[in-house]
Amino acid sequence: MVYYSGYLRRAGIVFLGLFIFWLILVGRIFYLQFFNFFFLKEFASRQHQVHIELSPRRGNIYDARLRPQAINLNVDSLYAVPSQIEDREKVVKQLSSILSLDTDYLREKLSRKKAFVWIARRLSDQKAKEISDLKIKGLGFIKETKRVYPNGYLCSHILGFANIDNVGIEGVELFYDNYLKGKPGFGLFLRDARGKILDLWEKVVLPQNGFDLVLTIDEVIQYIAEKQLDIVFKVFRAKAASIIIMDPFTGEILAMANRPTFNLNDLKKINSENMRNRAIADMFEPGSSFKIVTAAAALEEGKVNENDKFFCENGMYRVANHILHDHQPHGWLTFKEVIEQSSNIGVTKVAQILGPAIIFRYAKLFGFGSILGIDLPGEVKGKVKPPHQWSKTSIGAIPIGHEIGVNALQLVSAISVVANGGFLLRPYIVKEIRDEYGVQIKENRPQVIRKVITPQTAFRLKEILTGVVENGTGKLAKIEDIRVAGKTGTAQKIGEDGRYVHNRFVASFVGFAPADHPRIAMCVIVDEPHPYYFGGVVCAPVFKKVAEEVLNYLETYSSPKEDKPIKENIERLVSTKNESE
């Protein structure tokens, strides 16, 4: 009995132990099932699945004739599963040698407690092959797209660029980023026990590709403009230079370029200064190019006619406590000759007849001191002082293009007013937006900002500006058998002390051709040319060479509809604007 009793006691203890163990086991299962279910499920998913963002194709950018300016190439991007890396230090050294990456950077990446880590994005084919040949466990590749610019330097300030994460940084890449970038998708890809991603997925949401842009820029016209700009920039050892070519009847920008420039496919070798689109972002005093505003105001207000004579004081004229000079002495000149010979004294005497209020009003009408609204980032509005801020000497400065800040876009828009019969148009650089199948999503159309002068005044001013090229300071812009209208400009720059510097100038020429039936308006700006600095010497020849080639190209390759500037288009735009108002 004693033995039996001891047996029962031992059996009870064992049973109790088993029962307690069973309760713990059931409790654990209950806990895992009901309280830790989501954690374990996610943990298992991480072991056998990997969540990868699927990048959309960034929209392509084309010129006006659908020649590609920005496209995408499929390339390999390298990722790692850190837990699968066996000899970390060896891998760090191998990758550092191939990718030229810092070892500390790679070591930190491969030490992360994550199931997926990007190591290097958008590799060249050669580097991807070198890494693939190493057959390192825990490394893999995913196809992504790389932004490529087929023409390198061409259109660099217009296009801008996108970074490695498909985000636009400069130019139209930035301005139209929401259209270009698309929407990313994602995929839940399966992987094997070694962590290798398989070509199997549980769920995929496909990305929405970005829209394509069609520019107003013509690649050939852009090349012609950049070639001549590059020559003048180097020959005259200039600090900077800009050129813009516009269709004066639509506001379409046919070419826009700056020097210095940069290669869109080699961004590591450039600085931020070279990236700046000086044609719209740099403000400068235009000098005599601005005299078209004073001349237009005088004609429009009926204060002066072409044959009125002004005594130009033989080159010296006192305005308040300042002595105003002409670049060469003149006696009596007609108003037409005052503009042709670019007499500062003659224009100042005209301005004294008009008064500050009228000069200011017409400067604003022509678009100076305002944003014109081009679809590019970085446009500055410039500076035009209202009459109450004028000093006693301002009447002898502002009407001839001093004490005022403008950009090249405003100058080419202003000369376009004269070319098209008196209307200020919104300049634009993207003609339309399309989806990847070529279906139009959005179209930019010509838009009249305001009427500036009457067609009669525009015609009279056009004849005066034609005289500038045929008889005056712009003779080097003259083209054989083609009438050209334009205006030269030469302005001293202001130094750090606020005074004009005698050996630093901005040279300019604005004009359009043919004068009778304008096809193009153009502005050429050269900052600090040496040794010559007059706009008629430095910039007028650039206008001549570019205009000759561009007009020949347009004559050869334009369709009959495109060949003739449609003046009715302006009338239609004005009619539409009036109806909307």
Write down the domain spans for the chain.
50-215, 219-264+273-430+441-556+563-580
Stretch 505-520: mean pLDDT, rounded? 97
Contact 251, 447 (CB under 8 A): yes
DSSP string, 523-535: EEEEES-SS---H
Helix (H, G, I), strand (E, B), or coil: what is residue 94? helix
272 is catalytic: no
pLDDT at 101 exceeding the cut of 50? yes
With cut-offs at 50, 70 and 90, classify the pLDDT of residue 184.
confident
Asked, colleague to colleague, whether 50-215 and 219-264+273-430+441-556+563-580 share their fold, the answer is: no
pLDDT at 158 exceeding the cut of 70? yes
As beta bridge partners, residue 120 has: 78
Give start and end residues of each alpha helix (H) in 147-203. 156-159, 171-175, 177-180
Sheet containing 253-259: which strands, arranged edge to edge?
Answer: 253-259, 240-246, 520-527, 500-513, 485-494
Give start and end residues of each alpha helix (H) in 35-124. 37-48, 88-99, 103-110
Catalytic residue among 55, 156, 288, 289: 288
The confidence score (pLDDT) of residue 568 equals 56
For residues 59, 60, 63, 68, the Cα torsion angle rounded to the nearest 10 degrees is 180
DSSP string, 399-458: GGT-S-BB-HHHHHHHHHHHHHTSEEE--BSEEEEE-TTS-EEEE----EEEE-S-HHHH
The confidence score (pLDDT) of residue 5 equals 64
CATH topology of domain 219-264+273-430+441-556+563-580: Beta-lactamase (3.40.710)
Contact 399, 294 (CB under 8 A): yes
Pick the CATH number of 50-215 from 3.40.50.300, 3.30.70.1450, 3.30.310.80, 3.90.1310.10: 3.90.1310.10
Q: What is the pTM of this model?
A: 0.84
Higher pLDDT, 568 or 415: 415
The confidence score (pLDDT) of residue 185 equals 76
Stretch 571-581: mean pLDDT, rounded? 50
